[in-house]
Amino acid sequence: MYKTAVIGDRDSILGFKAIGMDVFDINGRKPSEVLTECAKNNYAVIFVTEDILHMINDEMEKYSEASLPAIIPIPGNKGSKGLGMENIKKAAEKAIGADILFNDN
């Protein structure tokens, strides 16, 4: 059975535990190792806070062409940095061949 995980700092992810998701606090751990651990343990969807996204870019590349796990950036407790929308925009452009999403700027 597939599971759902949330990776990030404690303050940003603790609320997800209340709705039944497995949470992984990166305090003292390498985010890339936590991501690899989740991917190997049947986590189909892995939410990652935007604050640590830049720390796992190389690791995310390994899973970019695979169907599972789906790695989804989410805002941390300090708000959104726009990285999730940027990833969606890149995926849409790759699939369609043109940027069809409106720019909020």
Residues 45, 27: contact at Cβ < 8 Å? no
Q: What is the CATH number of domain 3-96?
A: 3.40.50.10580
Contact between 33 and 23 (Cβ < 8 Å): no
Rounded to two decimals, what is the model's pTM? 0.77
The first and second tokens of residue 49, run together, are: 């806070």
Q: Are 63 and 22 in contact (CB under 8 A)?
A: no
Q: Is 82 exposed, middle or buried (0-12, 13-18, 19+ CB in 10 A)?
A: middle
Domain residue spans of the chain: 3-96
pLDDT tens for 2-51 read 899 999 999 999 999 999 999 999 988 999 999 999 999 999 999 999 88
